[in-house]
Structure formats: C-alpha cells, structure tokens
Structure 1
C-alpha cells in the first residue's frame, strides 16, 4: 500500500473523529475520501492488520501508532494550508487541495522551518514583556474559557483573513476550544474561528479583568 494512501486514510479518520467526537464509520470514511464503501472496507481491514486501526463493528478507531502518524500528517496539512493562505493569498479550498498533495512528500525539517517562519519563533519569544501591569502571551498560551484582548498581530501577510473576520488589535476574544492538533477555536463578534497553531503563536493577547 502506498504511504500516501495510508496517510490519507488516517488523516480522514482523525478529522472525522475530532469533528464528531466519536469513531467514524466505514461509510463516513468512504464519503470523506470520495471512494466506494467496499474499497474503503478492504483498505481499512489492511490498515488494521498493519496495526494502524482497530475496528469494532462498523466503527473505526486509530491505534496509538495510527494516531501518531495521523497527527503528524494533519499538522503538515495545517502548516502547508496556513502558508498557502496567509502567506501566498491562495483561497482556503484551493490551499487545502494543494496541501493534500504536498503533505505526503515534504520533510519534517521543512515543515518545522515553515512553521517557525510563519510564527516568527526565531525572533519572538513565547511570552512578551508586561504591558500596563498585564502579561502579554500568545493566543496559543491561553486556556479554554479565557477572555482576552488582542494586543498585537505579527507575521507576514498581515493576517488578512483574520482581519476580514473581525480579529484585530483591541478586539475581545473568548478561547472556545483547543484542538488536539494545537489549533485554537476563538469566538469573536459572535462567530467561532479556527486558527492554526502557527498563526496563533503570532497573535499576542492580554487577559481581560
């Protein structure tokens, strides 16, 4: 089985499970990958034999080995999609398709370099100086339920998509969820926005009293 096929299946299973909060069914996996149910069943059985999955009835769960690889691939996808949208201005759907193609061949080292470039970690510490008696931290440092005020947004591209959605310095945000892949879901102006960890590291906030 091609490594790219293995990664596609594991990534799809992880994504469905994170969105639904339960193990996906074979039918859901087939629909996500746009393939027939029989083909999906056969491949899932092979992945189970290789130790990536376990199947109970029609429900499919990632093993520890499968989850580790799925998370790694999902992070590559996130970094690549973020780079294509935030840095190159490619629309989200096109960027996601491109990321699906690129994620299978790109090295871990290149992903780390891209991540560092976007988040500015080479020059920006995780925590900044205190301002007006408050500690300014990155959005990634916040906990679920925190209410914070955006203090500074750093990084190439100016985060145009986030600005269009109403996330800009001075805005109050609520940390709704922190996902397993380190993405952060924030509520701003009554809407929930999912932000990749690379972008979240470059958004600095102050806690609100």
Structure 2
C-alpha cells in the first residue's frame, strides 16, 4: 500500500519544489497555495509563519534523505574502502540526478538558515550523516574517526557544490563517466583520510 502524503507533507514538498525552482524568496504561503491549487490561506493554516514553513520543509528534506539512504544502505560488518567508495559515490550520483531538486532546495534555503542556529544545524546535516560517516571511518580503521568523518563530509559537500554550481557543473560529460569519476575520487579521499 502506498503512502498518501498528508497536507503538511504536500506543503513541505511544494516548498522544496519552489525553493529549487526559484530560490528561497519563492517560498511563500501564497505561492504554495497556488502551486498546490489550494484555497488562499490554506498553507498559513498549517504553518503560521514563514520560519515555521521553512523549518518544516528542511525537516521534510532530512526525512527524505534518511529514507533514500536507508533504501540502499546495507550494513556490513567491516566494509572495504572500495565498497564504501562505491556506496558513497552512488549516493552522490543520486543527489546529482534523481534528487537534484533536494540539493537545489537545500542550497536555496541556506540563506534562511544563516541566522537561525537550529535551522542551520538541520540543513547542514540533512544530506550527509556525521554519525554514519564516523562509523564508516571507524570500521575502515581511521585513528580519529570523528575528525575523519567531518573531513570526509566536507570533501563531499565541496564536490556536490562544484558539480551543482561550480566549474564541474559545466564540464562533466555523461552519467556513466560521472559515476566512475565519483567512485575514483571518493576512493582516493577515503584512502587519504584513513591512511589505507
């Protein structure tokens, strides 16, 4: 049986759609009402302020990210660096293709998160998990797994941004080439971070 989204979930999804398409200023109560074909004032009934709306959308983004990762992640006792690189590269590839809307929405909503500590933390952790990365680094034998995890996520964040908006966003050829290049890059980083 498929899950029918609640009105709140639909509103959050619409907020993410609008942020991805038009930036953070496109996310308004009225725009969501229009986007979903709702009566004027419907969105504000569920989320009184824009801050509440944006916070709910970011939480929805984090839930979607956890669910997307859980759908493909199979825990291994001691994963190899090659297996970890493949899983990570595949996740990056999904973010750049199937989940591009989520990535664009996250970057657009970063403006709102700049002055809100709770929202900044939620947005900062909605695509990558420090806890899972720490476990991975520990399993791979890093001497300081927590620091290695933060470094790894910083590298992934930079690569994701570059492939979305940076120089690589206009020069990368073909999905197959991109997937292979991501695996190679991530494998090199893992080796350097855990000194494998």
TM-score of the two chains, using structure 2 as the length reference: 0.39
Q: Which has the higher contact order (CA 8 A, sep 6+)?
A: 2
- Larger relative strand fraction: 1
- Larger relative helix fraction: 2
